[in-house]
Amino acid sequence: MPPEAVTRFAPSPTGPLHLGHAYAAMVAAERAGAGRFLLRIEDIDQSRCRPQWEAQIYHDLEWLGLRWEVPVMRQSARGSAYRAGLDQLAALGLLYPCCCTRADIRAALSAPQEGAPLGPDGLTYPGTCRMRPMSEAGPNDALRLNMGAALAHVGALEFIENGPIHPGRHALDRDWLRDVAGDVVLARRDMGTSYHLSVVLDDAAQDITEVTRGADLFDATPIHVLLQALLQLPTPSYYHHTLIRDDTGKRLAKRDDARAIARYREEGLRPEALRQRLTLSAGT
């Protein structure tokens, strides 16, 4: 990586950091090289985030030997940036309010067609509310991106993947975005934003040059690259790392507290030993 590389680790403080997080943080710091390694607290879901978990994130990362710049960006302080991003997309006529529940979506998708497509956010939205104008948006509505209209706004797009699993240049598959990813939610009713919107705006605000994260988020990347183009933001390169597996080869669950870094620390494991173990179990 060039010396000016800027990378980030972006955990959500919804529980203890586990081995998978430790590996993600290590990869981000390593990819920064002589550049900048930033931390971002992804706490938009205030119903699940707790200050004690945020405090433990700092503690665990320090114990692992990582250092980052302060102040740390926290998503809970970025509401106005998210609203500005939504306003920009709404001005382009690309958003619409949606009051469908998950059950509504399932019902709309059941028969006649079988095997409804499954995008990165779950079942592909069938478009029930697509014709609703933004002037109707109320407190019980989420805001969705009209994917067809969004694609008509941009030309061919691509991103560069530097990670071990899908290395190379990836042209965005417009059919997949329209038919599988579909009209993704950009503002959830309960939080006024979404993972996709926040991550795109925050990476740009932090001048991230390479996004490092787990391979489970590879499929979300085309959505992010499209949003960057719509919001006239630069597209960073990406590095999706392999996911840590347990001794039987099973992917570690995000919320497997038995694998919490704090447990290893309490058991007296040295941080160097944990780092070495992670490097070994991450083999592609």
* Contact residues: ligand GLU, CB under 6 A: 10-12, 42, 199, 213, 217
Residue with smaller CB distance to ligand GLU, 54 or 141 = 54
Whichever of 146 and 198 has its CB closer to ligand GLU, that residue is 198
**Is the Cβ–Cβ distance between 57 and 24 less than 8 Å?**
no
Q: Nearer to ligand GLU by C-beta: 12 or 228? A: 12
Q: And the tokens for 14?
A: 């919804």
Residue number, 217 or 243, with CB nearest to ligand GLU: 217
Comparison of 10 and 184: residue with beta carbon closer to ligand GLU:
10
Identify the residue whose tokens are 């920064």: 32
Minimum distance, C-beta of residue 186 to ligand GLU, in the bound complex (Å): 15
Rounded least distance, CB 115 to ligand GLU, Å: 28
Residue 74 CB contacts under 8 Å (≥ 6 apart), including other chains: 40, 41, 43
213 - beta bridge partners?
240
Cis peptide before 51 (omega within 30 of 0): no
CB of 180 to ligand GLU, least distance (A): 20
CA distance 176 to 178: 5
Sorted by sequence, the CB contacts under 8 Å of residue 254 that are 6+ apart come out as: 15, 18, 20
Q: Tell me the closest approach of the beta carbon of residue 264 to ligand GLU, in angstroms.
A: 19
Residue 99, number of CB atoms within 10 A of its CB: 15
| Closest CB 199 distance from ligand GLU, rounded Å | 5
